Structure 1
């Protein structure tokens, strides 16, 4: 049975990750740390879910460090947008800073498996600021030396967001239409949020048991159609 800590539990992917964790019999306890209460918290068994809610993210590290028992798996689907952050510099400070800091706290606390929801095209050498930020988060987390690090790199994430993103909504419509014609027209470049969530949970549990592909014992990167395949297991 696994104990899991999760940040990003109120986002489009994170909310599905939380639901997947709560419904999985291999998970005994889930601790979420977030700015607001996750939507599913009111319906979740209180014996399985504990939520810590604070708008002051400076308190999150201490809360994560104090969790007992120490979570065997730490999952981050935490992210923000340039608009919400007030510019890319602030987005980088929030998203990169908090992800890496909490990963460091989890590692020092004794967490064995770290699962990160990253993005397709993440590359620390990219000329695209967003892709470079995602790549730098990946590299800084890998440098911490978790027993196993799992990185999911979805393409376009399809599903319903609470906040409005008109351009992305249009592309998601195209992805949905393509998927209805044939899954092969969509799966390589777009994945549904609930599918990504199931893949993240399955991969984290597999990594905790040491059930990872050969050659990926320390860092297991998962993208595209592999995410979809893993979600079905």
Structure 2
């Protein structure tokens, strides 16, 4: 059996990662760290919410979880609009994420799973993609036994906050899905539940030693990999690694 801890579990993809973990028979315990207890349709004794009074206390809260989780999932992120500025967004997307990754490493967690973004690059001229790339580089340098980085395209699903340009593209993707032509969107947009299942499948594959050759240390899942792991080969009992 595996145990997990998550941060970002109240967001679109994070909530689905949590639902997937709670319903998966391979996981015996799932701890969440968030500002408020996550809302989940799965009533489960597996769930152990941790709600510190301040985000400053999140790293120490993670380190205090016993027994030490096998896998740490981070889907933590915000928008510039919600954060109020680029600097505010960076405090969450980079600073807090990196602090949590360091806490996970210090706690002895062996597998770290990070939700990043397609086109993430520390050399990008776009602030958001550069920040995501810098975070990827920083957490990889921490030297987890296994680091998994997911780089989805447009994430398709119902968001609470309004993102008008993305909403239009999301509507197109939803229409393609409704027409049973998912192959037309797979290369640029993925359903949030598929991304969540790919994250869980990859994390569990690391725990069970089923990792593609050459990717034992750092495993980057691009959009085609996410679709394959999270939909085509998804098996709730034994998620495939290859």
Q: Please state which band the TM-score falls in when normalised by the shorter chain.
A: over 0.9
Q: CA deviation at 1:55?
A: 5.1
Matched with 1:160 is 158
Give unmatched runs, 5+ long, in structure 1: none
Aligned match of 1:173 in 171, 174, 183?
171
Whole-angstrom distance in 2 between the partners of 1:60 and 1:205: 24
Structure 1 residues 30-51: Cα deviation after superposition (integer angstroms, max 9, x where no partner): 000011221117x422x31100
Residues 10 and 38, structure 1, Cα contact 8 Å, conserved in 2: yes
Aligned to 1:193: 192
Q: Specify every segment of 5 or more residues in structure 2 that has no aligned partner in the other structure, as ranges.
A: 235-242
Determine if contact 1:36/1:55 at 8 Å carries over to the other structure.
Answer: no
Give the structure-1-normalised TM-score: 0.96
The superposition leaves residues 70-100 of structure 1 with CA deviations (integer Å, 9 ceiling, x where unpaired) of: 0110000000111111110111122100111
Matches within 5 A, 1:209-228: 209-228=208-227
State the Cα distance separating 1:181 from its structure 2 match.
Answer: 5.4
- What is the number of equivalent residue pairs in this alignment? 231
Q: Deviations over 1:193-229 (max 9, x none)?
A: 0110000001000011121111111000001121011
Q: Distance in 2 between matches of 1:69 and 1:181?
A: 44
Segment of structure 1 superposing worse, 54-63 or 13-22: 54-63
Instruction: Indicate the RMSD between aligned Cα atoms, in angstroms.
Output: 1.2
Q: Scaled by the length of structure 2, what TM-score is found?
A: 0.93
Which SS does the other structure have where 2:104 is aligned?
Answer: helix
